[in-house]
């Protein structure tokens, strides 16, 4: 098992005929992903790595029953592409684009919640259920980084995930599903929403949270653990201790944050809730072994 994505999930690639779309479709296919169709307006009738291409998502959904979509379109067209997928009944959308306008991101989150769908991103590296399928940019073929195992991983950043995952494998463990939330201010899906899925996934025995300075997602996770709504062992690595201070968002930013958002505050909240804290990526493996008593 896994969360959100298995080897049976029928996947659509939006923007499949672009450079990135074509390159990564190959990698996704190699990773076992069941890609049933691609969409690029105006390129209907073509094929990419043997995958049939359509002009509209609706057509692809009707002909192939696609359930998930990975979106390779430029930021300016991201909102339209995600709305098209959601409108056609797709329930999992991975939005890779980096540079989506904030107001578009708010609309994407609003529509996905309204329809009960899951959107990962914008600005996510994607997600992968290891050994089954991959959506996006995850180099699951690196065997010293990704291996099937009992550890769920959720992160805001991509390249750091590779680093952390390599330490999970070095410790003799492996991953069930990795979910990238994306690094933008308004992600389509928040940390606690993914944790709910990991909680009920039998393949996941422990969770690694890769967090970072700013925002309140890690604090929400701590609250969830404290309430007993997430019961599996959690190892956290929070980065950004020496990051330069972000752009000051007027007084409003400070009022909303109310002093939350520091690495120290996040670590304390998570520790208090019972999570284990890694101070360096290299510690994640050791802590996981402790947590899983192996």
Partner 1 sequence: MKLYEYEGKELFRRGGIPIPRGRVASTAEEAYSIAAEIGKEVVVKSQILQGGRGKAGGIKFASSPEEAKARAGELLGQKLKTEEIKKVLIEEKLDIAEEWYLSFTVDPAAGGPLLMVSRSGGVDVEEIALKSPERIVTEKINIFYGLMPFQARRAAFALGLEGNKVSELASLMLKLYRVFRQYDAELVEVNPLVVTSEGEFIAADAKVIIYDNALYRQKEFVKGPERFEDEREYRASQYGLSYVKLDGNIGVLCTGAGLTMTTLDLITYYGGRPANFLEFGGATYKNSYYALEIVLSDPDVKVVLINTFGLVARADVISEGLAQAIEELKPKVPIVASIRGTGEEEARKILESRVGLKLFPNVETAVQEAVRLAGAS
Report the residue from 2, 37, 57, 208 that binds partner 1 according to the rule CB under 8 A: 57
Contacts for 253 with CB less than 8 Å, ≥ 6 apart: none
Measured distance CA(40)–CA(90) in Å, rounded: 16
Contacts with partner 1 by CB under 8 A: the residue count is 83
Residue 155 near residue 180, CB atoms below 8 Å: yes
Is 103 annotated as catalytic? no
Q: How many CA atoms lie within 13 A of 144 on its CB side?
A: 2
Q: Which of 243, 264, 272, 290 binds partner 1 (CB under 8 A)?
A: 243
Q: Please tell me the chain's helix, strand, coil percentages from 3-state DSSP, rounded to the nearest 5.
A: 35, 20, 40
Applying CB under 8 A, among 32, 163, 274, 277 the residue interacting with partner 1 is: 163
Of 85 and 273, CB closest to partner 1: 85
CB of 231 to partner 1, least distance (A): 23
Question: What would the DSSP string read from start to end of 87-134?
Answer: HTT-SEEEE--S---HHHHHHHHHHHHHTT-EEE-SS--EEEETTTEE
Q: How far is the CB of 149 from partner 1 (least distance, A)?
A: 19
Binding partner 1 (rule: CB under 8 A), the pick from 6, 22, 32, 111 is 111
Asked if residue 150 lies in contact with residue 205, where contact means CB atoms within 8 angstroms, the answer is: yes
Q: What is the dihedral of CA 7, 29, 44, 136, to 10 degrees?
A: 80
C-alpha–C-alpha distance, residues 7 and 24, integer Å: 17
Give Cβ neighbours of residue 143 (< 8 Å, ≥ 6 apart): 169
Nearer to partner 1, 247 or 293 (CB): 247
Asked if 75 touches partner 1 (CB under 8 A), the answer is: yes
| Residues of this chain, 181-200, that bind partner 1 according to CB under 8 A | 183, 185-187, 190
Interface mask toward partner 1 for 115-154; x: CB under 8 A: --------x-xx---------xxxx--x------------
Q: Does 293 bind partner 1 (CB under 8 A)?
A: no
Examine residue 266 and tell whether it contacts partner 1 (CB under 8 A): no
The H-or-E segment that residue 223 falls in is helix 217-226
Q: In the range 218-237, which residues lie near partner 1 by CB under 8 A?
A: 220
**Does the footprint of partner 1 cover residue 286 (CB under 8 A)?**
no
Q: How far is the CB of 233 from partner 1 (least distance, A)?
A: 22
Stretch that binds partner 1, among 1-9, 199-207, 212-220, 227-235 (CB under 8 A): 212-220
The residues annotated as belonging to the active site are: 251
């Amino acid at each position: 098992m896994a969360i959100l994505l298995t080897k049976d999930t029928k996947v659509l690639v939006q923007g499949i005929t672009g450079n990135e779309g074509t390159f990564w479709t190959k990698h996704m296919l190699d990773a076992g992903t069941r890609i049933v169709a691609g969409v690029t307006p105006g390129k209907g009738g073509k094929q990419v790595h043997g995958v049939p291409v359509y002009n509209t998502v609706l057509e692809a959904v009707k002909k192939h029953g696609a359930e998930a979509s990975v979106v390779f379109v430029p930021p300016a067209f991201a909102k339209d592409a995600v709305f098209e997928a959601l409108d056609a009944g797709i329930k999992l959308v991975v939005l890779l684009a980096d540079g989506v306008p904030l107001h578009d991101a708010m609309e994407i989150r609003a529509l996905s919640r309204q329809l009960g769908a899951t959107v990962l991103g914008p600005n996510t590296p994607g997600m992968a259920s290891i050994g089954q399928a991959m959506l996006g940019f995850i180099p699951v073929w690196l065997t010293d980084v990704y291996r099937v195992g009992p550890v769920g991983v959720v992160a805001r950043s991509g390249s750091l995930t590779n680093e952390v995952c390599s330490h999970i494998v070095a410790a003799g463990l492996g991953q069930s599903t990795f979910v990238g939330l994306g690094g933008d201010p308004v992600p389509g899906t928040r940390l606690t929403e993914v944790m709910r899925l990991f909680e009920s996934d039998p393949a996941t025995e422990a969770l690694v949270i890769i967090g970072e300075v700013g925002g309140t997602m890690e604090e929400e996770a701590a609250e969830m653990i404290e309430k007993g709504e997430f019961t599996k062992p959690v190892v956290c690595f929070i980065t950004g201790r020496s990051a330069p201070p972000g752009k000051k968002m007027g007084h409003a930013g400070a009022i909303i944050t109310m002093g939350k958002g520091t690495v120290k505050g996040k670590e304390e909240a998570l520790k208090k809730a019972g999570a284990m804290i890694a101070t360096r990526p290299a510690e994640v493996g050791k802590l996981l072994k402790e947590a899983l008593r192996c």
